[in-house]
Chains A and B, each alone.
Chain A
């Protein structure tokens, strides 16, 4: 398999970018959900979770 470095680089790059995009979207959604809940129901959600 003489082309192994090219194959590894292509798959590594694709999986890496997909993971960065997914993690970024998940964290942003989680943070937005938490902050919105804190604003909409301040009494209940200000408690540490």
Chain B
């Protein structure tokens, strides 16, 4: 007879998994999601627009120049938010992968499909703005530095995810393969985060950490916070709009397939 503790631990784990699954599946109904998404959309879109405009204007025209970097430090106000979103977007894909593989959540696969291209575009912007900042500061567009290389790997992971999820005739196989890649690729996220600590890199260490005080002036921190929050809400708004469109397109395909089935059924029955 197995020890009682093992059995109860298993029951607790199963119960927790089932409860979490039920919680997620409550929002899996397409109609409920579309209603909730329509209500949420303006609350993401308009604050994103306002915060981004204020943050960009502040960073570009009113924040002080850096004593070492001069005005090129203003690139930070677009580079740092895109770097944050590049990692966050992939974290979103990894979460969708867990929801898809463990609970077979129907919206998780669609969300992963829609996050991919947006995340890839933002990662490309992060790499490009980093190069545009690096050229005047380091004297070169690119170095094979641990931070830069790990972000480049993230960009390729996004491209791989986009390609893999659309690579199969049967969508479910593509979703499953992409979910495995999404989970495996998440190992790159701590490498990106800690690369500046683990290796001697040309890229500067983090100026803002969870535990320590920020190492930059508040006059720079404010516009950076505003653009980061604005871009994050904007990312959410774009992904939500794409996901709503994807759910509607999926619903359209279902209705059209059902209509085709109804139309072809009597002809088939009439054949002797």
A residues sitting closer than 8 Å to B (CB atoms) are 1-4, 6-7, 9-11, 13-15, 17-18, 20-22, 25-26, 28-29, 31-33, 35-36, 39-40
- Docked Cα-Cα span, A19 to B60, in Å, equals 18
Given A17-B121, A25-B245, CB of A10 within 8 Å of CB of B79: yes
Other-chain contact of A10, B132, B248, B251, B252 (Cβ < 8 Å): B132
Is the CB–CB distance between A13 and B125 below 8 Å?
yes
Would you call B249 and A14 a contact (CB within 8 A)?
no
> Known contacts A10-B132, A29-B245: does B238 contact A22 (CB below 8 Å)?
yes
- Which residues of the other chain, A, contact B238 by a CB distance below 8 angstroms? 21-22, 25
B244 to A, closest residue via Cβ: A29
Chain A residues near B135: list those with CB within 8 A: 6
B241 at the interface (CB under 8 A from A): yes
The answer on a CB contact under 8 Å between B56 and A11 is yes
Q: A7-B74, A18-B234, A26-B241 are in contact. Are A13 and B248 (CB under 8 A)?
A: no
CA distance A10 to B237 in the complex (A): 22
A32: B residues at CB distance < 8 A: 244-246, 248-249, 252
User: Contacts A3-B70, A10-B75, A11-B60: A25 and B242 contacting too (C-beta < 8 A)?
Assistant: yes
A27 vs chain B, min Cβ distance (A): 9
Report the separation of the CA atoms of residues A40 and B249 in the bound assembly, to the nearest whole angstrom: 12
Any A CB within 8 A of the CB of B97: no
User: What chain B residues lie within 8 Å of A4 (beta carbons)?
Assistant: 71
> Are A11 and B252 in contact (CB-based, < 8 A)?
no
Residue among A2, A4, A14, A36 with max Cβ neighbours from chain B (10 Å): A14
Residues of B within 8 A of A (CB): 52, 56, 60, 70-72, 74-75, 78-79, 82, 118, 121-122, 124-125, 128-129, 132-133, 135-136, 231, 234, 237-238, 241-242, 244-246, 248-249, 251-252, 255-256
Q: How far is the CA of A35 from the CA of B124 in the complex (A)?
A: 32
Q: List 11 A-B residue pairs with CB atoms under 8 Å apart, sorted by A's residue number.
A: A6-B136, A7-B75, A7-B132, A11-B78, A13-B132, A14-B125, A14-B129, A28-B242, A31-B245, A32-B249, A36-B248
Are A3 and B121 neighbours in the complex by a CB distance under 8 Å?
Answer: no
Q: In the bound complex, what is the Cα–Cα distance between A13 and B122 (angstroms)?
A: 10
The smallest beta-carbon distance between A45 and chain B, in angstroms, is 13
Nearest B residue to A7, CB-CB = B74
Partner of B118, one of A10, A11, A21: A21
Please measure, in the bound complex, the distance between the C-alpha atom of A2 and the C-alpha atom of B69, giving whole angstroms: 11
The smallest C-beta distance from B148 to any residue of chain A, in angstroms, reads 16
What residues of chain B lie closer than 8 Å to A28, measured between beta carbons?
241-242, 245
Are B78 and A14 in touch, CB under 8 angstroms? yes
Given contacts A25-B245, A32-B248, contact A13 B71 (CB under 8 A): no
